[in-house]
Amino acid sequence: MEGILEYLLMIPDGKVVTYKQIAEYLGNPGYARLVGNYLHVNPDPDRYPCFKVVNHQGRLATNFGFGGAAEQKRRLEKDGVEVSSEFRVDLEKYQWKENRR
């Protein structure tokens, strides 16, 4: 799953990606849940910004493993991403569309 961590480093400031987007990039589109489980035990969340990953609707992780949704919201806003009071990000505005492999 090292590819997941490498992918996190590519996400620009002020942008987010989805779990499915990471899984697709790695060639396994059905593994979005696996990506989420792996990010929940991120070995170094300060180096690998898993806070930049949201679900396919732009919702923050209710069980964000490093301080809950409020902490994920704080980190996203510090990074330049607006988060609604419903803990949601506008994917039209903030989703990063990387170049595919």
Query: Which residues, 6+ apart, have CB-to-CB distance to 70 below 8 Å?
Result: none
- 3-state SS, residue 35: helix
User: What pLDDT score does 52 carry?
Assistant: 97
Produce one character per residue of 48-82: b if its CB has 16 or more CB atoms within 10 Å, e if not.
bbbbbbbbeebbbbeebbeeeeebbbebbeebebe
User: What pLDDT score does 11 carry?
Assistant: 97
Catalytic hit among 11, 16, 22, 50:
50
61 is catalytic: no
How many Å is the Cα radius of gyration of the chain?
A: 12
User: What pLDDT score does 98 carry?
Assistant: 78
User: What pLDDT score does 48 carry?
Assistant: 96
Q: From the first residue on, what is the mean pLDDT of each consecutive set of 10 residues in the chain (101 residues)?
A: 90 97 93 93 93 96 86 96 97 87 49
Give the count of beta carbons closer than 10 Å to the beta carbon of residue 22: 24
